[in-house]
A and B are shown apart, each in its own frame.
Chain A
Amino acid sequence: MVNAQADSRLKRGALVGAILAAFAALAALSIWTLQPETSAKRGFAYDMESLRKIDPALIKFQEERRIETGFAKVAGLALVGRSSGSPGGPEGRPTQSGGVLLVAGDNSVRAFGPDGKLAREIKLSGPACAVAVAQDGKVYAGLRDHVEVYDGQGVLLGKWESFGKEARITALTVAAEDVFIADFGPRVVWRCDLSGKVRNKIGVRDEARNVPGLIAPSPYLDLAFGADGLLYVNNPGRFCIEAYTPAGDLEHSWGKPAMGVDGFCGCCNPVSFALRPGGGFATSEKGVARVKMLDADGNLESVVAAPASFGEEAFGIGVALDGEGRVYVLDTGTRAVRVFNKKKELSDQDAAGK
Protein backbone atom coordinates (compact mmCIF):
# COMPACT_ATOMS: atom_id res chain seq x y z
CA MET A 1 0.00 0.00 0.00
CA VAL A 2 2.75 2.37 1.06
CA ASN A 3 4.75 1.32 -1.96
CA ALA A 4 1.80 2.01 -4.28
CA GLN A 5 1.41 5.54 -2.84
CA ALA A 6 5.13 6.20 -3.23
CA ASP A 7 4.99 4.93 -6.77
CA SER A 8 2.06 7.17 -7.60
CA ARG A 9 3.84 10.20 -6.03
CA LEU A 10 6.95 9.38 -8.01
CA LYS A 11 4.98 9.16 -11.26
CA ARG A 12 3.21 12.47 -10.55
CA GLY A 13 6.55 14.11 -9.77
CA ALA A 14 8.06 12.77 -12.98
CA LEU A 15 5.07 14.05 -14.97
CA VAL A 16 5.30 17.53 -13.43
CA GLY A 17 9.04 17.52 -14.04
CA ALA A 18 8.55 16.54 -17.65
CA ILE A 19 5.93 19.29 -18.17
CA LEU A 20 8.22 21.89 -16.57
CA ALA A 21 11.13 20.71 -18.70
CA ALA A 22 8.96 20.96 -21.81
CA PHE A 23 7.95 24.53 -20.88
CA ALA A 24 11.60 25.45 -20.27
CA ALA A 25 12.59 23.98 -23.62
CA LEU A 26 9.78 25.88 -25.37
CA ALA A 27 10.82 29.14 -23.70
CA ALA A 28 14.47 28.59 -24.69
CA LEU A 29 13.41 27.81 -28.26
CA SER A 30 11.30 30.98 -28.45
CA ILE A 31 14.18 33.13 -27.23
CA TRP A 32 16.59 31.42 -29.61
CA THR A 33 14.37 31.87 -32.64
CA LEU A 34 13.94 35.59 -31.91
CA GLN A 35 17.65 36.24 -32.39
CA PRO A 36 18.46 37.74 -35.79
CA GLU A 37 21.45 35.42 -36.18
CA THR A 38 19.17 32.44 -35.67
CA SER A 39 16.61 33.68 -38.13
CA ALA A 40 19.45 34.06 -40.60
CA LYS A 41 20.43 30.44 -40.10
CA ARG A 42 16.92 29.15 -40.53
CA GLY A 43 16.48 30.98 -43.82
CA PHE A 44 14.76 34.26 -42.93
CA ALA A 45 17.84 36.13 -44.06
CA TYR A 46 19.27 36.07 -47.52
CA ASP A 47 21.76 33.23 -47.37
CA MET A 48 24.42 34.25 -49.86
CA GLU A 49 26.90 31.68 -48.59
CA SER A 50 24.93 28.71 -49.87
CA LEU A 51 24.64 30.41 -53.26
CA ARG A 52 28.39 30.94 -53.39
CA LYS A 53 29.26 27.27 -52.91
CA ILE A 54 30.72 25.45 -55.91
CA ASP A 55 31.78 21.83 -56.22
CA PRO A 56 35.60 21.98 -55.92
CA ALA A 57 35.89 19.30 -58.62
CA LEU A 58 34.58 21.84 -61.14
CA ILE A 59 37.33 24.36 -60.39
CA LYS A 60 40.05 23.45 -62.86
CA PHE A 61 42.04 26.66 -62.82
CA GLN A 62 44.23 28.34 -60.26
CA GLU A 63 45.50 31.86 -59.97
CA GLU A 64 48.98 32.13 -61.43
CA ARG A 65 49.74 35.78 -60.77
CA ARG A 66 48.29 39.25 -60.34
CA ILE A 67 49.05 42.38 -62.24
CA GLU A 68 48.33 45.43 -60.10
CA THR A 69 46.85 48.18 -62.25
CA GLY A 70 47.18 51.00 -59.72
CA PHE A 71 43.78 52.33 -60.75
CA ALA A 72 41.15 53.45 -58.27
CA LYS A 73 38.44 52.28 -60.69
CA VAL A 74 38.84 49.81 -63.52
CA ALA A 75 36.69 49.54 -66.63
CA GLY A 76 38.05 47.08 -69.18
CA LEU A 77 41.02 45.22 -70.58
CA ALA A 78 42.46 44.08 -73.90
CA LEU A 79 45.40 42.02 -75.04
CA VAL A 80 47.61 43.48 -77.76
CA GLY A 81 47.26 41.76 -81.10
CA ARG A 82 43.54 41.36 -80.75
CA SER A 83 40.55 43.24 -79.51
CA SER A 84 39.06 42.75 -76.09
CA GLY A 85 37.57 39.34 -75.66
CA SER A 86 37.89 38.11 -79.24
CA PRO A 87 39.56 34.81 -80.12
CA GLY A 88 42.78 36.18 -81.39
CA GLY A 89 41.34 39.20 -83.08
CA PRO A 90 39.56 39.51 -86.39
CA GLU A 91 42.00 37.20 -88.09
CA GLY A 92 41.73 34.62 -85.36
CA ARG A 93 45.41 34.83 -84.55
CA PRO A 94 45.89 33.84 -80.94
CA THR A 95 47.85 36.22 -78.79
CA GLN A 96 50.92 34.66 -77.28
CA SER A 97 51.56 34.84 -73.57
CA GLY A 98 54.26 37.41 -74.15
CA GLY A 99 51.71 39.97 -75.30
CA VAL A 100 51.05 43.37 -73.86
CA LEU A 101 48.03 43.86 -71.67
CA LEU A 102 46.03 47.09 -71.80
CA VAL A 103 43.77 48.12 -68.95
CA ALA A 104 41.31 51.02 -68.99
CA GLY A 105 40.65 52.75 -65.71
CA ASP A 106 40.38 56.17 -64.10
CA ASN A 107 41.35 58.65 -66.85
CA SER A 108 43.83 56.57 -68.77
CA VAL A 109 44.82 53.35 -70.47
CA ARG A 110 47.84 51.58 -68.99
CA ALA A 111 49.96 49.06 -70.87
CA PHE A 112 51.64 46.26 -68.95
CA GLY A 113 54.46 44.19 -70.40
CA PRO A 114 54.82 40.42 -70.24
CA ASP A 115 56.55 40.83 -66.88
CA GLY A 116 53.45 42.58 -65.53
CA LYS A 117 55.25 45.90 -65.15
CA LEU A 118 53.77 49.18 -66.31
CA ALA A 119 55.22 49.89 -69.76
CA ARG A 120 53.39 53.10 -70.66
CA GLU A 121 50.29 55.12 -69.97
CA ILE A 122 47.95 56.90 -72.36
CA LYS A 123 46.14 59.83 -70.76
CA LEU A 124 42.60 60.28 -72.00
CA SER A 125 40.43 63.40 -72.06
CA GLY A 126 38.05 61.87 -69.47
CA PRO A 127 37.19 58.71 -67.55
CA ALA A 128 38.02 55.52 -69.43
CA CYS A 129 35.16 53.08 -70.03
CA ALA A 130 36.64 50.51 -72.44
CA VAL A 131 39.68 49.70 -74.55
CA ALA A 132 40.45 47.68 -77.68
CA VAL A 133 43.46 47.27 -79.92
CA ALA A 134 43.47 46.96 -83.71
CA GLN A 135 45.79 44.68 -85.66
CA ASP A 136 47.82 47.71 -86.72
CA GLY A 137 48.48 48.53 -83.07
CA LYS A 138 46.13 51.49 -82.81
CA VAL A 139 44.48 51.80 -79.43
CA TYR A 140 40.75 52.57 -79.34
CA ALA A 141 39.67 53.98 -75.99
CA GLY A 142 35.99 54.24 -75.16
CA LEU A 143 35.00 57.17 -72.99
CA ARG A 144 31.48 57.84 -71.74
CA ASP A 145 30.03 59.02 -75.05
CA HIS A 146 32.82 58.89 -77.64
CA VAL A 147 35.91 57.06 -78.84
CA GLU A 148 39.49 58.32 -78.91
CA VAL A 149 42.10 56.71 -81.15
CA TYR A 150 45.80 56.67 -80.23
CA ASP A 151 48.89 55.22 -81.82
CA GLY A 152 51.07 52.74 -79.99
CA GLN A 153 53.07 55.56 -78.43
CA GLY A 154 50.02 57.27 -77.00
CA VAL A 155 49.74 60.06 -79.59
CA LEU A 156 46.14 61.10 -80.19
CA LEU A 157 45.15 60.28 -83.79
CA GLY A 158 41.48 61.13 -83.64
CA LYS A 159 38.53 61.92 -81.45
CA TRP A 160 35.18 60.69 -82.72
CA GLU A 161 31.91 62.52 -82.44
CA SER A 162 29.71 61.86 -79.44
CA PHE A 163 27.11 59.12 -79.70
CA GLY A 164 24.68 61.40 -77.88
CA LYS A 165 23.79 62.69 -74.44
CA GLU A 166 22.47 59.30 -73.31
CA ALA A 167 25.50 57.36 -74.50
CA ARG A 168 27.42 55.25 -72.04
CA ILE A 169 30.05 53.12 -73.75
CA THR A 170 30.82 49.86 -71.95
CA ALA A 171 32.92 47.89 -74.47
CA LEU A 172 34.35 48.02 -77.97
CA THR A 173 36.12 45.75 -80.39
CA VAL A 174 37.90 46.30 -83.68
CA ALA A 175 37.47 44.11 -86.77
CA ALA A 176 39.21 44.54 -90.11
CA GLU A 177 37.05 47.40 -91.40
CA ASP A 178 34.68 47.96 -88.50
CA VAL A 179 34.67 49.14 -84.94
CA PHE A 180 31.81 47.85 -82.80
CA ILE A 181 30.86 49.88 -79.76
CA ALA A 182 28.52 48.62 -77.02
CA ASP A 183 26.43 51.52 -75.72
CA PHE A 184 24.50 50.92 -72.50
CA GLY A 185 22.55 54.19 -72.84
CA PRO A 186 20.30 53.28 -75.78
CA ARG A 187 21.15 49.55 -75.39
CA VAL A 188 22.66 49.18 -78.85
CA VAL A 189 25.89 48.25 -80.54
CA TRP A 190 27.13 50.90 -82.96
CA ARG A 191 28.91 49.56 -86.03
CA CYS A 192 31.28 52.25 -87.28
CA ASP A 193 33.95 52.44 -89.93
CA LEU A 194 37.50 53.09 -88.86
CA SER A 195 36.95 56.85 -88.99
CA GLY A 196 33.99 56.71 -86.61
CA LYS A 197 31.16 57.06 -89.12
CA VAL A 198 28.15 54.99 -88.05
CA ARG A 199 27.27 52.23 -90.51
CA ASN A 200 24.40 50.60 -88.68
CA LYS A 201 23.00 49.71 -85.27
CA ILE A 202 22.88 46.19 -83.87
CA GLY A 203 20.66 44.80 -81.13
CA VAL A 204 17.70 47.13 -81.51
CA ARG A 205 14.39 45.38 -80.95
CA ASP A 206 12.94 44.46 -84.33
CA GLU A 207 10.18 41.88 -84.47
CA ALA A 208 10.28 41.74 -88.26
CA ARG A 209 13.91 40.59 -88.12
CA ASN A 210 13.30 38.42 -85.05
CA VAL A 211 15.64 40.53 -82.92
CA PRO A 212 14.35 40.63 -79.32
CA GLY A 213 16.58 43.58 -78.43
CA LEU A 214 19.29 44.07 -75.88
CA ILE A 215 18.16 44.21 -72.26
CA ALA A 216 20.73 45.61 -69.87
CA PRO A 217 19.41 46.44 -66.40
CA SER A 218 22.90 47.44 -65.32
CA PRO A 219 25.78 48.90 -67.38
CA TYR A 220 27.48 45.70 -68.48
CA LEU A 221 27.21 45.22 -72.22
CA ASP A 222 30.18 43.37 -73.67
CA LEU A 223 31.07 42.20 -77.16
CA ALA A 224 33.63 40.27 -79.17
CA PHE A 225 34.16 39.72 -82.87
CA GLY A 226 34.72 36.08 -83.78
CA ALA A 227 36.88 34.41 -86.38
CA ASP A 228 33.59 33.18 -87.90
CA GLY A 229 32.76 36.75 -88.88
CA LEU A 230 30.00 37.11 -86.31
CA LEU A 231 29.69 39.69 -83.59
CA TYR A 232 28.96 38.18 -80.17
CA VAL A 233 27.11 40.37 -77.67
CA ASN A 234 25.93 39.53 -74.16
CA ASN A 235 22.27 40.18 -73.47
CA PRO A 236 22.32 40.19 -69.66
CA GLY A 237 18.61 40.87 -69.18
CA ARG A 238 17.87 37.77 -71.22
CA PHE A 239 20.73 35.76 -69.66
CA CYS A 240 22.32 34.88 -72.97
CA ILE A 241 25.03 35.60 -75.50
CA GLU A 242 23.80 36.44 -78.98
CA ALA A 243 25.59 36.20 -82.31
CA TYR A 244 24.87 38.85 -84.97
CA THR A 245 26.04 39.40 -88.48
CA PRO A 246 27.71 42.79 -88.91
CA ALA A 247 24.51 43.91 -90.66
CA GLY A 248 22.54 43.21 -87.47
CA ASP A 249 20.79 39.92 -88.22
CA LEU A 250 20.52 37.67 -85.20
CA GLU A 251 22.03 34.30 -86.07
CA HIS A 252 21.76 32.40 -82.82
CA SER A 253 21.94 32.72 -79.05
CA TRP A 254 22.42 30.54 -76.02
CA GLY A 255 22.19 30.87 -72.24
CA LYS A 256 19.70 30.32 -69.45
CA PRO A 257 18.98 31.87 -66.07
CA ALA A 258 19.89 29.70 -63.08
CA MET A 259 21.36 30.17 -59.65
CA GLY A 260 23.29 26.93 -60.19
CA VAL A 261 26.69 27.03 -61.83
CA ASP A 262 25.34 25.74 -65.15
CA GLY A 263 23.37 28.94 -65.85
CA PHE A 264 23.64 32.70 -65.47
CA CYS A 265 22.60 33.86 -62.01
CA GLY A 266 20.78 36.86 -60.61
CA CYS A 267 18.82 39.48 -62.48
CA CYS A 268 21.28 40.17 -65.30
CA ASN A 269 24.27 38.15 -66.36
CA PRO A 270 26.83 37.52 -67.81
CA VAL A 271 28.55 40.88 -67.41
CA SER A 272 31.57 40.05 -69.52
CA PHE A 273 32.88 37.30 -71.76
CA ALA A 274 35.64 36.30 -74.15
CA LEU A 275 35.74 33.89 -77.06
CA ARG A 276 38.03 30.88 -76.80
CA PRO A 277 40.40 30.29 -79.72
CA GLY A 278 39.17 26.75 -80.24
CA GLY A 279 35.49 27.66 -79.85
CA GLY A 280 33.53 28.27 -76.71
CA PHE A 281 33.43 31.08 -74.20
CA ALA A 282 34.83 32.34 -70.93
CA THR A 283 32.13 34.22 -69.02
CA SER A 284 32.07 36.39 -65.93
CA GLU A 285 29.06 36.94 -63.64
CA LYS A 286 28.29 39.39 -60.86
CA GLY A 287 26.09 38.82 -57.80
CA VAL A 288 27.45 35.35 -57.32
CA ALA A 289 30.77 36.36 -58.85
CA ARG A 290 32.30 33.58 -60.88
CA VAL A 291 34.21 32.98 -64.10
CA LYS A 292 33.44 29.87 -66.12
CA MET A 293 34.60 28.06 -69.22
CA LEU A 294 31.81 26.99 -71.56
CA ASP A 295 31.80 25.06 -74.80
CA ALA A 296 30.52 26.46 -78.11
CA ASP A 297 26.92 25.50 -77.20
CA GLY A 298 27.15 27.16 -73.82
CA ASN A 299 27.52 23.98 -71.76
CA LEU A 300 29.63 24.28 -68.63
CA GLU A 301 33.10 22.80 -68.91
CA SER A 302 34.81 24.10 -65.81
CA VAL A 303 35.06 26.93 -63.33
CA VAL A 304 37.98 29.32 -63.63
CA ALA A 305 37.33 31.45 -60.56
CA ALA A 306 34.79 30.53 -57.88
CA PRO A 307 32.81 33.12 -55.90
CA ALA A 308 35.21 32.62 -52.99
CA SER A 309 37.97 34.05 -55.18
CA PHE A 310 36.31 37.47 -55.14
CA GLY A 311 35.73 39.94 -52.35
CA GLU A 312 32.26 41.07 -51.31
CA GLU A 313 30.46 42.85 -54.17
CA ALA A 314 33.52 42.37 -56.44
CA PHE A 315 33.48 40.56 -59.77
CA GLY A 316 35.34 40.27 -63.04
CA ILE A 317 34.41 43.29 -65.13
CA GLY A 318 36.55 42.12 -68.02
CA VAL A 319 37.77 38.76 -69.31
CA ALA A 320 40.41 37.98 -71.93
CA LEU A 321 42.27 34.86 -73.05
CA ASP A 322 45.74 34.36 -74.41
CA GLY A 323 46.84 31.74 -76.90
CA GLU A 324 48.03 29.41 -74.17
CA GLY A 325 44.72 29.14 -72.40
CA ARG A 326 45.37 31.62 -69.64
CA VAL A 327 42.37 33.59 -68.47
CA TYR A 328 42.84 37.26 -67.59
CA VAL A 329 40.18 38.58 -65.22
CA LEU A 330 39.90 42.25 -64.33
CA ASP A 331 38.74 42.26 -60.71
CA THR A 332 36.65 45.26 -59.60
CA GLY A 333 37.55 44.61 -55.97
CA THR A 334 41.34 44.41 -56.08
CA ARG A 335 41.54 46.46 -59.32
CA ALA A 336 44.14 43.93 -60.45
CA VAL A 337 44.27 41.72 -63.52
CA ARG A 338 44.24 38.22 -62.13
CA VAL A 339 45.78 35.59 -64.38
CA PHE A 340 44.37 32.09 -64.08
CA ASN A 341 45.90 28.99 -65.61
CA LYS A 342 44.89 25.35 -65.68
CA LYS A 343 45.85 23.48 -62.53
CA LYS A 344 49.20 21.81 -63.00
CA GLU A 345 47.98 18.24 -62.61
CA LEU A 346 45.32 18.88 -65.25
CA SER A 347 47.85 20.45 -67.62
CA ASP A 348 50.06 17.37 -67.13
CA GLN A 349 47.12 15.10 -67.89
CA ASP A 350 46.36 17.10 -71.04
CA ALA A 351 49.99 16.80 -72.12
CA ALA A 352 50.00 13.06 -71.45
CA GLY A 353 46.78 12.71 -73.42
CA LYS A 354 48.38 14.34 -76.41
Chain B
Amino acid sequence: MPPENEKNCARREFLRTGLQGAALVGLGALAGRLVTPSASQKTVWQIDPAKCIQCERCAVNCVLKPSAVKCVHAFKLCGYCRPCFGFFQPDYNALNAGAENQLCPTGAIERSFVEDPYYQYVINEPLCIGCSKCVKGCTAFGNGSLHLQVRHDRCVNCNECSIAVSCPSNAFVRVPASQPYLIKGKEHA
Protein backbone atom coordinates (compact mmCIF):
# COMPACT_ATOMS: atom_id res chain seq x y z
CA MET B 1 0.00 0.00 0.00
CA PRO B 2 1.58 3.32 -1.13
CA PRO B 3 2.05 6.02 1.44
CA GLU B 4 -0.51 8.85 1.61
CA ASN B 5 1.79 11.54 0.06
CA GLU B 6 2.62 9.25 -2.92
CA LYS B 7 -1.10 8.70 -3.52
CA ASN B 8 -1.63 12.53 -3.56
CA CYS B 9 1.26 12.95 -5.99
CA ALA B 10 -0.22 10.39 -8.40
CA ARG B 11 -3.64 12.07 -8.26
CA ARG B 12 -2.07 15.50 -8.91
CA GLU B 13 -0.07 14.04 -11.79
CA PHE B 14 -3.21 12.49 -13.22
CA LEU B 15 -5.14 15.76 -12.97
CA ARG B 16 -2.27 17.77 -14.51
CA THR B 17 -1.93 15.36 -17.40
CA GLY B 18 -5.66 15.33 -17.88
CA LEU B 19 -5.87 19.13 -17.93
CA GLN B 20 -2.93 19.37 -20.35
CA GLY B 21 -4.61 16.85 -22.62
CA ALA B 22 -7.92 18.72 -22.51
CA ALA B 23 -6.14 22.01 -23.25
CA LEU B 24 -4.38 20.40 -26.23
CA VAL B 25 -7.65 19.02 -27.56
CA GLY B 26 -9.25 22.46 -27.13
CA LEU B 27 -6.38 24.17 -28.91
CA GLY B 28 -6.56 21.64 -31.74
CA ALA B 29 -10.30 22.20 -32.11
CA LEU B 30 -9.78 25.95 -32.13
CA ALA B 31 -7.02 25.70 -34.74
CA GLY B 32 -9.17 23.38 -36.82
CA ARG B 33 -12.06 25.80 -36.59
CA LEU B 34 -9.82 28.64 -37.72
CA VAL B 35 -8.28 26.70 -40.59
CA THR B 36 -11.49 25.10 -41.90
CA PRO B 37 -14.10 27.66 -43.02
CA SER B 38 -17.54 27.11 -41.61
CA ALA B 39 -20.56 26.82 -43.87
CA SER B 40 -21.35 30.48 -43.36
CA GLN B 41 -17.82 31.53 -44.37
CA LYS B 42 -17.72 29.36 -47.48
CA THR B 43 -17.70 31.45 -50.62
CA VAL B 44 -18.76 30.90 -54.21
CA TRP B 45 -18.32 32.76 -57.49
CA GLN B 46 -20.88 35.34 -58.61
CA ILE B 47 -21.19 38.15 -61.14
CA ASP B 48 -21.60 41.68 -59.88
CA PRO B 49 -24.22 43.06 -62.31
CA ALA B 50 -22.99 46.60 -61.74
CA LYS B 51 -19.57 45.66 -63.12
CA CYS B 52 -20.60 43.34 -65.96
CA ILE B 53 -19.98 44.81 -69.42
CA GLN B 54 -21.63 41.98 -71.40
CA CYS B 55 -18.43 40.96 -73.18
CA GLU B 56 -19.75 37.46 -74.05
CA ARG B 57 -16.81 35.64 -72.45
CA CYS B 58 -19.10 33.92 -69.94
CA ALA B 59 -20.61 31.92 -72.80
CA VAL B 60 -17.29 30.54 -74.04
CA ASN B 61 -14.88 30.43 -71.12
CA CYS B 62 -16.76 28.29 -68.58
CA VAL B 63 -15.50 24.74 -68.08
CA LEU B 64 -19.10 23.61 -68.46
CA LYS B 65 -20.84 23.49 -71.82
CA PRO B 66 -23.24 25.23 -71.85
CA SER B 67 -21.94 27.75 -69.39
CA ALA B 68 -23.06 27.86 -65.74
CA VAL B 69 -23.72 31.55 -66.31
CA LYS B 70 -27.32 32.27 -67.22
CA CYS B 71 -29.43 35.31 -67.80
CA VAL B 72 -31.84 36.04 -64.94
CA HIS B 73 -34.71 38.46 -64.96
CA ALA B 74 -35.42 40.96 -62.18
CA PHE B 75 -39.14 41.35 -62.82
CA LYS B 76 -39.36 44.19 -60.31
CA LEU B 77 -37.25 46.34 -62.64
CA CYS B 78 -38.80 45.23 -65.93
CA GLY B 79 -40.84 47.72 -67.95
CA TYR B 80 -42.76 44.87 -69.67
CA CYS B 81 -42.14 46.74 -72.92
CA ARG B 82 -43.86 45.68 -76.11
CA PRO B 83 -40.69 46.30 -78.11
CA CYS B 84 -38.18 44.79 -75.64
CA PHE B 85 -34.66 45.23 -76.93
CA GLY B 86 -33.45 42.36 -74.83
CA PHE B 87 -35.77 40.23 -76.93
CA PHE B 88 -35.87 41.91 -80.37
CA GLN B 89 -33.14 42.57 -82.88
CA PRO B 90 -32.62 46.33 -83.27
CA ASP B 91 -33.67 45.97 -86.92
CA TYR B 92 -36.62 43.66 -86.32
CA ASN B 93 -39.07 43.08 -89.16
CA ALA B 94 -42.11 42.90 -86.92
CA LEU B 95 -42.86 42.89 -83.22
CA ASN B 96 -43.56 39.19 -83.02
CA ALA B 97 -41.65 36.15 -81.81
CA GLY B 98 -40.52 35.12 -85.28
CA ALA B 99 -36.99 33.71 -85.18
CA GLU B 100 -35.75 36.40 -87.55
CA ASN B 101 -36.82 39.09 -85.07
CA GLN B 102 -35.29 37.54 -81.98
CA LEU B 103 -31.98 38.62 -80.56
CA CYS B 104 -31.28 35.47 -78.54
CA PRO B 105 -29.25 33.00 -80.62
CA THR B 106 -30.91 30.03 -78.89
CA GLY B 107 -34.45 31.37 -78.49
CA ALA B 108 -34.14 31.19 -74.72
CA ILE B 109 -36.48 34.09 -73.98
CA GLU B 110 -40.21 33.39 -73.94
CA ARG B 111 -42.47 36.37 -74.68
CA SER B 112 -46.09 36.37 -73.58
CA PHE B 113 -48.86 38.98 -73.68
CA VAL B 114 -49.99 40.40 -70.34
CA GLU B 115 -52.31 43.28 -71.27
CA ASP B 116 -52.12 46.07 -73.82
CA PRO B 117 -49.35 47.10 -74.32
CA TYR B 118 -47.41 44.98 -71.82
CA TYR B 119 -45.51 41.76 -72.44
CA GLN B 120 -43.70 39.43 -70.06
CA TYR B 121 -40.28 37.94 -70.79
CA VAL B 122 -39.19 34.70 -69.11
CA ILE B 123 -35.79 33.01 -69.46
CA ASN B 124 -35.80 29.35 -70.43
CA GLU B 125 -32.63 28.50 -68.51
CA PRO B 126 -31.75 25.17 -70.12
CA LEU B 127 -31.57 26.99 -73.47
CA CYS B 128 -29.62 30.01 -72.20
CA ILE B 129 -25.90 29.93 -72.98
CA GLY B 130 -25.02 33.10 -71.06
CA CYS B 131 -24.00 35.08 -74.16
CA SER B 132 -25.30 38.34 -72.64
CA LYS B 133 -26.70 39.63 -75.90
CA CYS B 134 -30.11 40.25 -74.31
CA VAL B 135 -28.44 41.82 -71.28
CA LYS B 136 -26.68 44.32 -73.52
CA GLY B 137 -29.91 45.27 -75.29
CA CYS B 138 -31.87 45.58 -72.06
CA THR B 139 -29.14 47.60 -70.36
CA ALA B 140 -28.76 49.97 -73.31
CA PHE B 141 -32.42 50.63 -74.02
CA GLY B 142 -34.46 49.38 -71.10
CA ASN B 143 -34.23 49.27 -67.34
CA GLY B 144 -31.47 46.66 -67.17
CA SER B 145 -33.73 44.04 -65.64
CA LEU B 146 -32.01 41.23 -67.58
CA HIS B 147 -28.60 40.40 -66.11
CA LEU B 148 -26.16 37.52 -65.83
CA GLN B 149 -25.68 35.33 -62.77
CA VAL B 150 -23.68 32.19 -62.02
CA ARG B 151 -26.27 29.48 -61.39
CA HIS B 152 -25.19 27.39 -58.44
CA ASP B 153 -27.29 24.37 -59.27
CA ARG B 154 -24.64 23.65 -61.94
CA CYS B 155 -21.52 25.74 -61.18
CA VAL B 156 -18.71 23.48 -59.92
CA ASN B 157 -17.08 26.39 -58.08
CA CYS B 158 -13.56 25.96 -59.45
CA ASN B 159 -10.86 27.47 -57.27
CA GLU B 160 -9.64 29.35 -60.31
CA CYS B 161 -12.79 30.13 -62.27
CA SER B 162 -11.84 30.25 -65.93
CA ILE B 163 -14.40 32.97 -66.63
CA ALA B 164 -13.20 35.10 -63.72
CA VAL B 165 -9.64 34.87 -65.04
CA SER B 166 -10.68 36.27 -68.41
CA CYS B 167 -13.32 38.76 -67.19
CA PRO B 168 -12.19 42.18 -68.45
CA SER B 169 -14.17 44.16 -65.88
CA ASN B 170 -13.44 42.09 -62.77
CA ALA B 171 -17.13 41.46 -62.40
CA PHE B 172 -16.54 38.00 -60.92
CA VAL B 173 -16.49 38.20 -57.14
CA ARG B 174 -16.60 35.76 -54.24
CA VAL B 175 -19.80 35.91 -52.22
CA PRO B 176 -20.94 33.95 -49.16
CA ALA B 177 -22.39 30.56 -50.12
CA SER B 178 -25.32 31.33 -47.85
CA GLN B 179 -26.21 34.31 -50.09
CA PRO B 180 -24.92 33.22 -53.47
CA TYR B 181 -26.82 35.63 -55.77
CA LEU B 182 -26.50 39.33 -56.57
CA ILE B 183 -29.93 39.90 -58.08
CA LYS B 184 -30.60 43.40 -59.31
CA GLY B 185 -33.08 45.37 -57.27
CA LYS B 186 -34.31 48.89 -57.00
CA GLU B 187 -30.83 50.09 -56.09
CA HIS B 188 -29.84 49.39 -59.70
CA ALA B 189 -32.77 51.26 -61.24
Contacts and interface: CB of A to CB of B under 8 A. Distances in A.
Contacts of B142: 217-218, 266-268
A153 interface: no
B148 interface: no
Interface stretch (B12-20, B65-73, B79-87): B79-87
A259 interface: yes
B54 A44 contact: no
Interface residues of B, number: 27
A267 B142 CA distance: 6
Contact of B81 (A39, A51, A217, A259): A217
Contacts of B189: 219
A219 B143 CA distance: 9
B56 A48 contact: no
B56 A45 contact: yes
B136 A267 contact: no
Contact of B79 (A34, A45, A268): A268
A265 B91 CA distance: 11
Main secondary structure of the interface of A (DSSP, over half): loop
B37 interface: no
B60 A36 contact: yes
B77 to A, nearest CB: 9
Given A39-B56, A45-B136, A217 B80 contact: yes
Contact of A259 (B60, B80, B82, B90): B90
B128 to A, nearest CB: 15
Contacts of B83: 257, 266-267
Interface in B1-38: none
A70 to B, nearest CB: 23
A215 B57 CA distance: 36
B133 A218 contact: no
Contacts of B136: 45-46, 48
B133 A45 contact: yes
A325 interface: no
A44 B84 contact: no
A51 B90 contact: yes
A268 B81 contact: yes
Contacts of A99: none
A237 interface: yes
> Which of A46, A48, A265, A313 has the most chain B CB atoms inside 10 A of its CB?
A46
Contact of A217 (B54, B79, B131): B79
Contacts of A259: 90-91
B140 A48 contact: yes
A218 B79 contact: yes
A36 B56 contact: yes
Interface string A233-249: 00001100000000000
Contact of A46 (B54, B79, B117): B54
A40 B56 contact: yes
A266 B85 contact: yes
Interface in A29-72: 34, 36, 39-40, 44-46, 48, 51
Nearest to A257: B83
Contacts of B143: 217-218
A217 B39 CA distance: 41
B117 A238 contact: yes
A266 B83 CA distance: 8
> Which of A217, A265, A313 has the most chain B CB atoms inside 10 A of its CB?
A217
7 contacts: A46-B103, A46-B136, A46-B140, A48-B136, A218-B142, A238-B117, A286-B141
Interface of B: 54-57, 60, 79-85, 90-91, 103, 105, 117, 131, 133, 136-137, 139-143, 189
Q: Which are the 8 A-B pairs with shortest beta-carbon distances? A: A217-B79, A266-B141, A287-B141, A267-B81, A46-B136, A36-B56, A217-B81, A267-B142
